[in-house]
Structure 1
Amino acid sequence: MRFLTAFILFSLLFTSCAVKKQQGKEDKPFVDRNILWFDATANFDRFCHKDSIDYYLRKSKEVGITDVVVDVKPITGEVLYPSKIAPVMTSWGESKTKKDLSWDMLAYFIEQGHKLGLKIHASTNVFVAGHNFFDRGVVYDDPSKFHWRTTSYLPEGMKSITEQKNKYSAMINPVLKEVREYELSILKELVSMYPKLDGVILDRVRFDNLNADFSEHSKKQFEAYLGKPITNFPADIYSFEGKVRKDGPLFKEWLTWRSKIIHDFIYEARAALKGINPKLVFGDYTGSWYPLYYDVGVNFASKEYDPSKEFDWASADYKNYGYAEALDLFTTGNYYFEVEKSEILKKSEEKALESGLKVAQEEWYTVEGSAELVNRVTMGKTPVYAGLYVEQYKGHPEQFIKALQMCREKSEGSMIFDIVHIINYGWWDQVKEGLKK
């Protein structure tokens, strides 16, 4: 009798554990996913042809990819589907290929991908609307949107983003309500047009960098946030002594306000898109370098993580604008050649961002360390997929395999950017090896 009772109790316990484990899987449907990005412009010619789409979807499936991200809104602000809001991209660069508008590329990706058992996500570059190298895109072509261009505060003074030809992305100002409404309308149209789309992954939901945006409109909105006028703008934020930036008395408040702008848009977008398709996977891409990511006005951490206890740039309120809890899927750029933390100990030089921020190399300047850092600050609130920029490993296929294996070890799976490099290097076997379980 005691044996029977013990057996029943054991069975109940085993069943309970199994149910909990299964429930966990259902709560996080994208655990153990391997994501491959298909960039819009780098692959424009290739994916104007159905047979190419068929071939590369099959190749992706064969090597262990589970999820494909189709970039449908590159940095020009044009789109690769029949939008009634945004201009449609029909050609790119010097290529003579013209997009055949008689068939829908994204619809075809979804249809053929689903036949293979792949999840298909669409990616859109949000707060950017022009390519500075080609003077092309929405903020170049549409006079009604010229004032959307972000204004940078540089050592030489105020300068429009489109004058900065060393930068390819013509970023737009997310502080402008009309910018946010326009970008949200495109996202809503996209999700409405493709009810079978598995997910949307946002990109460039951010400011250009620490130098932006210093337009008069941003000044007024910051004053409204503070509840008082700024007596010395922009010096109360920061000033320059030569090319050296000096923080002003409102610097931390400025960083907090910028993070609130991005936080609020993320939550607004989630609510709007889930309202159209409740099953849609709502995702985001950012870099993985959290200690420097205030540079672009983004706090991708959990609200339960308080960066002010660790970093002197964060105010006590900065934690309120973490948005990890809003995401169903989070991909990060763990874009380092060094894979293991031990590899960084061999180096001592500083890393510098475009805006001038500098930091000594630390463990998080590795694939391993950065993945651990992102998981630490997001605190399990969203499944994280550590990502690689394949071009960094050109000529070093073994390092790429090692990095891919590290992504899978230290996060829920992996993200690979971009398929064009896999094709150019012929690294399909390397992908397969890196994704082995």
Structure 2
Amino acid sequence: MSFTFNENANILWVDFLANGVRLANENEQLKLLENAVHTGITHLIIDAKVPFGQTTYPSNYGYHISSWSDDRFIMWEDRDFLDEFLTKAKKYDVKVLANMDVFSEGTTASKDGIAYDKEDWKVTFYNDAVSSESNAAEYKDADTIFVNPIHPKVEAHELNILKEICMYDLDGVVVDRCRYPNVYGDFNELSRKGFERYIGETIENWPEDIFTINEEKAIEFGKLFPKWTEWRANNIKTFVTKARAIVKDHVPLFADYVGSWYPLYYSEGVNWGSESFKPNLAWTSDTYHVSGLAEQLDFLMTGCYYYEVTKEEADKNGRPDYWYSVEGAADISLDVVNGSIPFVASLFLKNYQGDPEQFRKAIRMCKEKSAGVMLFDTVYVEEYNWWDILKEELK
């Protein structure tokens, strides 16, 4: 039941929201598997729970993908995508991992998702701690609604779904959106009391002692912000630790997908680095490293989501820093993980639309710098007809 992560992995992500209608045709599922194996893909990641909270299998806890009010995925009614795909995949030499979008539970576009039935689960944003207007979205006008990671019922809900996913014959489980929506959440009373317990004192000025927003709408860190970021990251680490225990009882591999922009990752409230990595940034406490969660994973994928491949290109194109490039993002990922686990540099294929040569360069850089490459997403491989490129670069 156990195997170590293949450190020359070619991983292809299959986002259900983008591919689910096409893959409702079971011949398309077979076609995907055949193309993947033919081009050298070693791992496929398929969605078990999508960014708006719906599951692609029948769940006792979540809402099935066919329940969407706009009938977008009605063709999946009474069907189990995980079972269908995994049954077919057994005949192919490829590992299949299931992705779970963790703390995202609704969509503003159609008001679907469990967050609309469990209003007290929703994230409360900074301004809402004062003005009480909230939709709990990831950012202004975003579709994705987030729930509070430390709400006991939220944690129980997500872990129950994870247990269901682990009952399938999978090679691994990936968690995504296992984080806060952004720096503005969560600021409800549950979070305030939890943070006060963590620091052992009552907050004098709430929420201003965490941060304030100036006239230019920029954040100015308050005296408690470094401990706040540590506390938030520890909350995510606590969940990931519990999730790991569940996964590793049933499934060989456990992984996380995060953004590579570590110097700005206080916004997401996750320390995806090693406990041995001690950052010295304006927003980190002296003990921030205790929140590092890398050691809980078998491998980590970091989104190196830049058109520029080299650090030289980033500098030439006026990027703010070297890590605004695939190479730089990989370098900072290596520093932060600090040799604790393998990491896989990950590409957003839409960045290279119309520029297949830059895409090739990006693949090569990922494979040179990391334990492989992760390609997001299958829909762009299909749209740009890039299967031949994958075969040439991955084989």
TM-score (norm 1): 0.85
Aligned to 1:428, which of 374, 387, 393? 387
SS at match of 1:386: strand
1:395 and 2:354 correspond: yes
In the alignment, which residue of structure 2 is the partner of 1:107? Answer: 83
Deviations 1:273-313 (A, max 9, x none): 223x1x420111001111111211100111111013xx121
In the alignment, which residue of structure 2 is the partner of 1:247? Answer: 221
In the alignment, which residue of structure 2 is the partner of 1:83? Answer: 59
1:316 and 2:289 correspond: no
In the alignment, which residue of structure 2 is the partner of 1:59? Answer: 35
Q: Relative to 1, partners in 2 of residues 1:261 and 1:315: Cα closer, same or farther, differing over 3 Å?
A: same
1:98 and 2:98 correspond: no
Q: Does the Cα contact within 8 Å between 2:68 and 2:112 map onto a contact in 1?
A: no
1:374 and 2:338 correspond: no
1:220 and 2:190 correspond: no
1:268 and 2:227 correspond: no
Larger Rg, first or second structure (1 or 2): 1
SS at match of 2:389: helix
Q: Relative to 1, partners in 2 of residues 1:152 and 1:92: Cα closer, same or farther, differing over 3 Å?
A: same
Q: Does the Cα contact within 8 Å between 1:28 and 1:383 map onto a contact in 2?
A: no
Q: Does the Cα contact within 8 Å between 2:65 and 2:73 map onto a contact in 1?
A: no
1:35 and 2:7 correspond: no
1:95 deviation in Å? 6.4
Q: Does the Cα contact within 8 Å between 1:153 and 1:159 map onto a contact in 2?
A: no
SS at match of 2:265: helix
Aligned partners of 1:218 and 1:363: how far apart in 2? 35
In the alignment, which residue of structure 1 is the partner of 2:206? Answer: 233
1:102 deviation in Å? 5.1
Aligned-pair Cα RMSD in Å? 1.9
Q: Relative to 1, partners in 2 of residues 1:162 and 1:27: Cα closer, same or farther, differing over 3 Å?
A: closer
1:132 and 2:108 correspond: yes
Deviations 1:305-324 (A, max 9, x none): 1013xx12111110011011
Q: How does 1:406-417 map to 2 (within 5 A)?
A: 406-417=365-376
Q: Does the Cα contact within 8 Å between 2:106 and 2:144 map onto a contact in 1?
A: yes
Identity score, percent:
39
SS at match of 1:115: coil
SS at match of 1:201: strand
In the alignment, which residue of structure 1 is the partner of 2:45? Answer: 69
Q: Relative to 1, partners in 2 of residues 1:116 and 1:177: Cα closer, same or farther, differing over 3 Å?
A: same
1:165 deviation in Å? 5.4
Q: Does the Cα contact within 8 Å between 1:30 and 1:383 map onto a contact in 2?
A: no
Aligned to 1:201, which of 166, 171, 174? 174
1:401 deviation in Å? 1.2
Aligned partners of 1:120 and 1:79: how far apart in 2? 17
Aligned partners of 1:37 and 1:369: how far apart in 2? 23
Q: Does the Cα contact within 8 Å between 2:178 and 2:236 map onto a contact in 1?
A: yes
The unaligned stretches of length 5 or more in structure 1 are 1-25, 350-360
In the alignment, which residue of structure 2 is the partner of 1:44? Answer: 20
Q: Which one scores higher on RCO, CA 8 angstroms, separation ≥ 6?
A: 2
1:181 and 2:156 correspond: yes
Deviations 1:41-87 (A, max 9, x none): 11121121211100111011111111000012112211000111111
Q: Does the Cα contact within 8 Å between 1:405 and 1:435 map onto a contact in 2?
A: no
Q: Does the Cα contact within 8 Å between 2:48 and 2:165 map onto a contact in 1?
A: no
Aligned partners of 1:45 and 1:299: how far apart in 2? 35
Aligned to 2:364, which of 405, 430, 433? 405
SS at match of 1:210: coil
Aligned partners of 1:100 and 1:179: how far apart in 2? 26
Aligned to 2:267, which of 295, 320, 331? 295
Q: Does the Cα contact within 8 Å between 2:136 and 2:147 map onto a contact in 1?
A: no
Which amino acid letter does the alignment assign opposite residue 202 of structure 1?
V
In the alignment, which residue of structure 2 is the partner of 1:282? Answer: 254
Deviations 1:193-233 (A, max 9, x none): x1x21100000010111111111211111111112211110
